[in-house]
Amino acid sequence: MSLLRCQVPGCMRTFKRSSDLTRHVNLSHKHYGVDPSTPPDPRCPNSPEHDLFNDQQPYSPPPPPLPKERKNYHPFLHGDICTEDGRPLSASSSPPPQVESQNPWEPCSGEAQFCISNLLFKKVQMSQTNINELFNIWNLHQQELMKTDSPFENHKDMYNRTSYQVWYRNPATVIANILANPEFRHDFDPAPYVHINRNGQRCWADFMSGNWAWRHATQIYENDTTDCVDGAMLVLIILGADKTTVSVATGHVEYHPLYLSFGNISNAARRAHRNAVIPIGFLAIPKSGRKYDNESNLRIFKKRLYHSSISAILQSLNPGMTIPVIRKCPDGHFRRVLYELAALIAEQVYLSGIVSGWCGRCQGIFSDLDGPSSSDRRSRKIDQILREEYGGEVRSFKDSLVEWCLDYLTTTHGEARANEILDDIDRRLAAVPAFPGLRHFPHGRRFKQCTGDDSKALKLQIQPQVPGLVEFWYSTHAT
């Protein structure tokens, strides 16, 4: 009986049955492609060697190859590569060589600035006043020696930023740094695209594969009157903001960070903590006494401060929203980049005063947006009824006892006077001197998070502040 030889070059295996040969090829040579120069398979009826074999198995041609997975990029804003000065390049051009910095102490200008910054800012964490005093002494000493001044003029010069109520970084610089990071070269898309898998089905995974990115790119191209966006790379900016309460030190420290990323980076890279999401600012959190909590002017001020702060932080992006700017991308190529704000992930309550799941215009609910209630417009009267009906009740010591005291004081003295009394209690709690084993509340009881230790410590300190009232509460709530 004649044997069947494997047709893969270099393989000397032979088999008695064609099924064994097929199994061998599928297991050992599954990545082997058919070469036109390869002799025809002797099992094929059209092969001149077919009659030399006594194999009676019917010949079955190999199955057609599956279609390849592909991405169809946007036809207009598809991110053409260019030189650093904006001249277009062919798609087959190689990226320019990476230029290594000649200064190993960046971002400092030299070793002296790096060492003094590392000492004062990181190790010692010296205050700004002491830093200024140190550099003044240094300047005087250098002048006496007829030499140059100290590495820095003062603390502002060392920090290289200006102090405001809102601390922020330049978002244009942050985006440029993320784009220039070569770690994202395999997790980066220069344009919106339609993702088709091997089965011919469309897939939605990353931000740039969605319909919104494609349609928005088309809209930008159609509305362009300067003929400068064709071939540009659309960078869809994603912002996120959420208040964060630090639980350390009694949980009274609050921050309001503002984060930035953009849709050209894949979701996997964004979730992998690879510096694809960067904090660009800390928004101010204005506070006041309780007697001003319900003042409409204070509420308006907080909202204006919130929106104006974000607007001021994003000012550096304005030029790149109308005329493309040249930026280096993760693959090493330069492209003309067009910025566009895509999304702001934040609390609805903080942005517009809407409860989660509600609509700002109608009474429709998220699970039935086409229902009959969606035609009823929302009004202040309805909001007031809902607030009175679903005001919320809490039963922890921190809230239950103190809120009961607030209700008692409000009923006895009126709301304005009750808030003044509670503000005075907070000032007394903040004025308690440090003592071993005694927890300090520098802002009184007005903190967001309360642990079990905080609750116990607050219980011990609030009793002397409202003598007789706490005992009365316990007597009325005793089981």
Domain ranges of the chain: 4-52, 72-92+170-352, 111-159, 397-476
| Confidence (pLDDT) at 254 | 72
The answer to whether 88 and 231 are in contact (CB under 8 A) is yes
8-state DSSP, 323: S
Highest mean pLDDT among 97-101, 305-309, 445-449: 305-309
| Confidence (pLDDT) at 180 | 93
- Predicted TM-score (pTM) of the model is 0.56
| Confidence (pLDDT) at 49 | 47
Please calculate the CA angle 241-300-366 and round it to the nearest 5 degrees.
Answer: 55
CB atoms within 10 A of CB 84: 10
CB neighbour class for 95 (10 Å; exposed up to 12, middle 13-18, buried from 19):
middle
The answer to whether 169 and 282 are in contact (CB under 8 A) is no
Alpha-carbon gap, residue 168 to 313, rounded angstroms: 7
Whose CA is closest to 132, among 152, 118, 146? Answer: 152
Distances (CA, A) of 259 to 238, 278, 339, 344, 379: 8, 5, 16, 10, 33
Answer whether residue 399 shows pLDDT above 80.
no
Q: Which residue has the higher pLDDT, 313 or 349?
A: 313
Dump pLDDT digits (tens) for 222-246.
Answer: 999 888 899 999 999 999 988 776 6
Query: Residues with Cβ < 8 Å from 219, sequence gap 6 or more?
Result: none
Q: Which residue has the higher pLDDT, 399 or 345?
A: 345
